[in-house]
Structure 1
Amino acid sequence: MDLDYRLDGPEDAPLLVLSNSLGTTWPMWQAQMADFTRHFRVLRYNTRGHGRSPLVDGVITLDTLGQDVIALLDHLDVERAFFCGISLGGMTGLWLNRHAPSRFERIVVANTAAKIGEAKGWLQRAATVRQQGMAPIASGAAERWFTPAYRESNPGVVKLLVDGLANTPKEGYAVCCDALAAADLRPDVAAMLRPMLLIAGAEDPVTTVNDAGWIAAQAKQAACVTLPASHLSNVACPAAFNQQVLTFLTAGAAT
């Protein structure tokens, strides 16, 4: 297994996979760890081209990122797991719900959409990064990720995440932009069969409340909640985020 990953929490607890947003690494989930590890063995991993997770030869697609999660489960000899992903990680969760439902009990996807943005914008962003590096992307990240009030109240947290984005390998970021340019799961949502919770940010300019609501209306077993956040709701509203995720993931017996 070449992906960069780590495990925390009780070895005999059910496994919960956490999947990061574009341009972040597994510390983005730190505010969830104390709560989540009370119930789960938590698997965090870094997406292809992020952290110490290497790129692979050829084109990376959303299929690649989804198959990486399945390969991790196989590597750990885990037949079924729970899943929570945000932004790009949330889109990975949607893909898993469509293409590998038998491997998951329940799935949470936050601040995501069945199609995120437009292909032209992602391809332009990838080209910018390849030509100019990560600085132009990092310079505007705080405004995309957090509300003005959160930025003012939590400058240290914001700086840590933006600095991490600035240090992301540019080709790793660019190939994931390419993957997002091509990714469109809108025709597949009605065939997503596992119980799923969508978490939206009320002030998210990237993946809107309407994007989440559309998925919830189309999927078979889906609900949607909104938190007072922008794009990184797990960071901005950790207590509410943790409560919503745990209430959903621990509800009733596995179905």
Structure 2
Amino acid sequence: MAFTRLGHGLVHWRESGPAGAPAVVLVNSLGTDFRIWDEVAAALSANWRIITYDKRGHGLSEVPPGPYAIGDFTDDLIGLADHLGLTRFALVGLSIGGLIGQDLAVRRPERLTALVLADTASKVGTAESWNARIETIRKGGLAAIADSVMERWFTPAFHAGRPDDLAGWRNALLRQPADGYIATCQALSQADLTNAIGSVPVPTLAVVGDGDLSTPPDLVREMAQRIPGAGFALIKGCGHIPPVEQPDRLLTLVTEHLEKHGRG
């Protein structure tokens, strides 16, 4: 395990792969830590320098007082990249990780060689829906939303065929810091990059599970259409978390995009 203190607090991160290879940063979703990338990171690390980390308020990273904004997460990422000497890198962002990727591509496109936006959108949910979730957590903790989140994260086939994995990822959600989760929901409630992403110059691929109930395919496709030249791919038999439910298919799509654009 590696820890680095940035301006907002302690960040937990991990590096794998050849030190001299082109770098790829994997940014995880709300309510997860960087272990969500384990299978994908292990495969990519044969040819790429892979960085995974726990966002503020998640995993073993510290939980600074909220509310947060998407720009805070982006600043944290830039700080970690600077610490690691990553002048330019590719980014694969899942859900809120994709919003962080979009924000970075708008604000600092020169830092990115390539961008993969997985199961995300330029605006996710509404202020009302996020505030309702926050209120539910304040009253009942993360356990109060765990089952509904699992329905959004994974398809019915995953629920039926992989019950032990489902229970494990539910446990992973429950072990996230509730204060960090709430503060991140507050960031999502205000985030809207709909107009800004029309200027993104970074080679971009958007991917989404065909059974994603959090960011449905049409929403992800709409985001992709706003980004100049962005590609779009559907992952069959998958919900909101492709690196867990369909890691091989996600890996194929990511690798193809990185080989075209990520070595610049």
2:243 to 222, 234, 237: 234
Q: Equivalents in 2 of 1:253, 1:83: separation in Å?
A: 9
The answer on 1:125 being equivalent to 2:133 is yes
Q: Which residue of 2 aligns with 1:4?
A: 12
Q: Distance in 2 between matches of 1:204 and 1:234?
A: 13
1:58-73 matches, cutoff 5 A: 59-73=67-81
Which amino acid counterpart does residue 244 of structure 2 have in structure 1?
V
Change (3 A) 1:132 1:197: same
Tell whether the 8 Å contact from 1:107 to 1:194 is kept in structure 2 after alignment.
yes
3-state DSSP of counterpart to 1:84: strand
- Answer yes or no: is 1:51 the counterpart of 2:74: no
Structure 2 partner of 1:202: 210
Task: Provide the identity percentage.
Answer: 32
In the TM superposition, what is the alpha-carbon distance from 1:58 to its structure 2 partner?
A: 5.1
SS of alignment partner, residue 105 of structure 1: strand
Structure 2 gaps of 5+ residues are none
Cα deviation digits, residues 145-196 of structure 1 (max 9, x gap) = 1111112111222211110101111100000000000001101120111001
For 1:92, the equivalent position in structure 2 comes to 100
Deviates more, 1:70-79 or 1:28-37: 28-37
Query: Taking structure 2 as the reference length, what is the TM-score of the superposition?
Result: 0.93
Q: In 2, Cα distance between the equivalents of 1:18 and 1:180?
A: 19
SS in structure 1 at match of 2:214: coil
Q: CA RMSD in A?
A: 1.4
Corresponding residue pairs, total: 255
Cα deviation for residue 140 of structure 1 reads 1.9
Residues 36 and 253 (structure 1 numbering): CA distance in 2 closer, same or farther, change over 3 Å?
A: closer
Deviations along 1:177-233, one digit per CA (max 9) or x if unpaired, are 000000011011201110011001111111011112112211113100000111112
Q: Secondary structure at the match of 2:176?
A: coil
Give runs of aligned pairs for residues 1-255 of structure 1, distance below 5 A.
Answer: 1=5, 2-57=10-65, 59-228=67-236, 229-251=238-260, 254=263
Task: Write out per-residue CA displacement over residues 90-132 of structure 1, whole angstroms, 9 at most, x where no aligned residue.
Answer: 1111111111111010010100010001111101111221232
Note the residue ranges of structure 1 that are not aligned, 5 or more in a row. Answer: none
Q: Any conservation in 2 of the 1:201–1:226 contact (CA below 8 Å)?
A: yes
Q: Any runs of at least 4 consecutive aligned residues in structure 1 with deviations exceeding 4 A, and if so which?
A: 252-255
Q: Secondary structure at the match of 1:127?
A: helix
Change (3 A) 1:198 1:252: closer
Preserved contact between residue 28 and residue 161 of structure 1 (Cα < 8 Å) = no
CA distance in 1, matches of 2:135, 2:261: 47
| Cα offsets for 1:11-49 (capped at 9, x unmatched) | 111111011110001111112123110121111101111
What SS does the aligned partner of 2:228 have? coil
Determine helix, strand or coil for the equivalent of 1:109: strand
2:14 match: secondary structure: strand
Confirm or deny: 8 A CA contact 1:151 1:158 kept in the other structure: yes
